[in-house]
Amino acid sequence: MIIHLPGTTTRAINKRLIEERDEGGAVALGRVLTLVIDAEDQDPEVAIAAANEASREHPCRVIVLARSAEPAESTLDAEIRLGGDAGASEVVILRPSRAIAADDDTLVMPLLLPDAPIVTWWPFEVPDNPAAHPLGRMAQRRITDTSATSQPGPALRRLATVHAEGDTDIAWARTTLWRGLIAATLEQPPFEPVLEASVSGESTHPSVDLMAGWLAWSLKCPVRVERIEGAPAITQVRLHRASGDIVLDRPDGKTAALIKPDQPEHRIALPIRQLRECLAEELRRLDADEVYGETLTRGLALIDA
């Protein structure tokens, strides 16, 4: 069900949500968090679809700020999505005019679920300092997506200079399966140090940089980055040890080959992770991700050096 509320107020939106809950059975008490999506002046539908899918694991109220690109009087249009149009969540889309778009936190606050954690997500461009942003200050968790920005590399380095507890990035979640496989492989004999490592992947994809930074900081070894234009995200990780190289190779973005010395090749399903999977993973934890913080603030500096 989709309810359109042109020329409305946050008070009227809240009242309508309560009416729908009482009459239709949409239960806010089952929501575990509030997800605030700052879509700026971009089309928010891809982000909303990902949030709806993630809400099946994390029932939540989704508040979307989609600013109008056209100058107008001080007006607020809204849309409420419930039931099949909202997954396991209730979605409130706010479309403020440019005249009131600066008051983001004022618009959002009346619609927050009481006593529920708040997560803010920027699915497009990254703010200069997520923790200092009006929508970031109210959140326990702040999610950016540098892979969706116009300049992923510079955006990631800028985040490294302002990192605060609670910050994370979708590009980091895209490395989770790779990191798990590499860690599991290194926990098997022979227990030798890694002398050198390399990461290959798409030339501007921030997951390549984060993977290399994680290896450099965790293994305390030099890491070389090979950037391939048009490659499907991360394509290969190679670890050089005295007994031979460990290679995790995924040239097609679907299936990886794990190659270890004196062992048969293992084929592993390793598809590129979808946005909804990465978002659901980031919503599972509301505490600080220390490994991401160290990789961002220390590991990137090692590979850049």
What does the pLDDT look like over 9-66, one tens digit per residue?
999 999 999 888 877 655 545 788 999 999 999 999 999 999 999 999 999 999 999 9
Give residue for tokens 């394509």: 235
Tell me: the pLDDT tens digits for 46-62?
Answer: 999 999 999 999 999 99
pLDDT one-digit tens code per residue, 163-219: 999 999 999 999 999 999 999 999 999 999 999 999 999 999 999 999 999 999 999
The Cα 280–Cα 301 span in angstroms is 29
CA gap 44, 220 in Å, rounded: 41
pTM: 0.94
The one-letter code for the residue type at 59 is: P
190 token code pair: 């022979």
Residue located via tokens 């968790």: 141
Nearest Cα residue to 106 out of 77, 134, 128: 134
Strand extents, DSSP E, 133-180 = 141-144, 167-169
Residue found by looking up tokens 């806010």 in the block? 28
Question: In three state form, how does the secondary structure of 28-56 look?
Answer: HHHCCEEEEEEEECCCCHHHHHHHHHHCC
Q: Is 210 exposed, middle or buried (0-12, 13-18, 19+ CB in 10 A)?
A: buried
